[in-house]
Structure 1
Amino acid sequence: LIPWLLLLEMGLYASCFVCGIVTAASLTITQGSFSGLCILYGTVNHNSSSDSLLVQTSSSPSLCYFVSAISVCVAVFCFSISLYWIYTCCLDGGVNRERLWLNVTLVVCGVFLFFLLLTGCVLKRGRDSLCDSVLHAVPNITSCEEAQSRTWISPYTGTQFYTGLYNAGTAVWVNFFFWILIGVLVVIQRGQGSEFRMTAADPLATPSETEPFFPRQARPQ
């Protein structure tokens, strides 16, 4: 049987993959709604005559690209390592985790935690800064989400800008939490032993194949 700690770790990798895709997709769709502008830390202007909204300032597009790239890198890593363990467990017939690779996994975990924390803070502060501008510029609204129903001056279509940024930020923090759990699981596996081996018995093996190559001599009575 596959060790339950490894099964749990593989499940967390799959969850992190989904979170990474959700973050990158949500942010990319939101950025596309504003013709490629990165509205994190942006400001909004309200046109009273047409009762419409216009993006006054925005951040460099590279900021959104950076956040999306981190999420994609995490997703690609999780997808790759999940495929590796599936191949190892199902096709190769065994699992061999050396202490060296457990240490490498811990280092990767630490790197991803740092960048996920960074991107999570960027999304949170950037969204809050944008919402502060929206609440000050747009009359008769009490939340940033209400601005989604307002008309935006073409070519901007901000009907889902808050939802997209909120989903991206939530997925990052969920991803961050899952990587903490992965780190805990790896530490537990290091404590249980530097190596473990799982092999599947061959159902077609005959009794003669399982006997020692050099039979043990019987002791004289």
Structure 2
Amino acid sequence: MFMMALPWLLVLELVLYAGCFICGVIAAAWMTQTQGHFDGQCILYGSVLYNVSGESLILEGSSSSICYFVSAIAVCMAIYCFSLILYWIYASCVDENVRRGTGSLNTSIGVCGLLLFFLLVSGCILKIGRDSLCSSVLHNVPSISSCEDGENITWASPYNGNQFYKGLNNTERSLWVSFFFWVLITAVVIIQRRQSSRLKVWGNDEWSRAETEPFLHRPSRA
């Protein structure tokens, strides 16, 4: 019922928000799980050594702050999208004719630009950090042809790397999908902004005509 009270462009925007919320939850969950498998350490940009005697992998040179940054961006995006969905559902239930002002649309465009920037930074951090880790794995571990093969090798305790590549890969994919959704959201908000400006100009023009008509109106001759 609430969708019937909302403009179709706003409904489309809410659907995209729902997609971003899901992507944010998935990205944060995979990043947290991957970091937990390595005793809270972040494996991005880390180096891997191969213990020949124990036939196990050892993680070195990791930094937890990078993974915390990526997780924070994903969580903040998910909370923001979920809050907007709840707000517009509530607004549609309270007011049958929901309209967005120019100021609200301008704020939304600014938030979209900010989130696009942080998602782009997070995606690049994941891409470069994963490639750096995989380069170390392929260089130091014998008899493997891909980084994903490192999941089948035993990692030194307390590390558990049976899903390290899958976790990083799924986190990166989720962030890039959400980045694509935010590009669409930005386009939808800009379209709504233009429509709002046109309606405002049209409304002012009609109001001006209504004001001047009594003064400019000339009685018709009999």
TM-score bucket (shorter structure): 0.7 to 0.9
| 2:145 counterpart of 1:170 | no
Tell me the residue number matched to 1:23.
Answer: 27
Distance (whole Å) between structure 2 residues aligned to residue 94 and residue 45 of structure 1: 63
Partner amino acid, structure 2, of 1:188: I
Distance (whole Å) between structure 1 residues aligned to residue 82 and residue 43 of structure 2: 30
Distance (whole Å) between structure 2 residues aligned to residue 195 and residue 63 of structure 1: 45
TM-score with structure 1 setting the length: 0.85
Within-5 A mapping of 1:56-71: 56-58=60-62, 60-71=63-74
Identity %: 57
Partner amino acid, structure 2, of 1:123: L
Distance (whole Å) between structure 2 residues aligned to residue 74 and residue 4 of structure 1: 23
Within-5 A mapping of 1:121-136: 121-136=124-139
Q: 2:55 aligns with which of 51, 55, 59?
A: 51
Could you list the runs of 4 or more consecutive aligned residues of structure 1 that deviate by over 3 angstroms after TM superposition? none
CA contact (8 A) 1:98 1:195 kept: no
Counting strand residues as a fraction of each chain, which structure ranks higher?
A: 1
For residues 39-63 of structure 1, what are the alpha-carbon distances to aligned partners after superposition, in whole Å with 9 as ceiling and x for unaligned? 10000000111211110221x2111
Q: 2:18 aligns with which of 14, 17, 22?
A: 14
Tell me the residue number matched to 2:41.
Answer: 37
Partner amino acid, structure 1, of 2:18: A
CA RMSD of aligned residues (A): 1.3
SS in 2 for 1:142: coil
Residue 164 of structure 1 and its aligned partner are, at CA, apart by: 0.3
Residue 92 of structure 1 and its aligned partner are, at CA, apart by: 3.2
Distance (whole Å) between structure 1 residues aligned to residue 19 and residue 37 of structure 2: 27
Partner amino acid, structure 2, of 1:56: E
Counting helix residues as a fraction of each chain, which structure ranks higher?
A: 2
SS in 2 for 1:54: strand
Distance (whole Å) between structure 1 residues aligned to residue 60 and residue 65 of structure 2: 18
The answer for unaligned runs of 5 or more in structure 1 is 197-221
Residue 195 of structure 1 and its aligned partner are, at CA, apart by: 9.0
Tell me the residue number matched to 1:154.
Answer: 157
CA shift in 2, pair 1:17/1:48, >3 Å: same
For residues 160-207 of structure 1, what are the alpha-carbon distances to aligned partners after superposition, in whole Å with 9 as ceiling and x for unaligned? 0000000000001001110000000011111112498xxxxxxxxxxx
Distance (whole Å) between structure 1 residues aligned to residue 196 and residue 56 of structure 2: 63
Tell me the residue number matched to 1:209.
Answer: none
Tell me the residue number matched to 2:120.
Answer: 117
CA contact (8 A) 1:109 1:179 kept: yes
Residue 93 of structure 1 and its aligned partner are, at CA, apart by: 2.6
Partner amino acid, structure 1, of 2:74: S
Partner amino acid, structure 1, of 2:22: V
Partner amino acid, structure 2, of 1:35: D
Within-5 A mapping of 1:180-195: 180-194=183-197
Partner amino acid, structure 2, of 1:177: F
Distance (whole Å) between structure 2 residues aligned to residue 78 and residue 195 of structure 1: 28
Partner amino acid, structure 2, of 1:116: L
Alignment coverage as a number of residue pairs = 195
SS in 2 for 1:153: coil
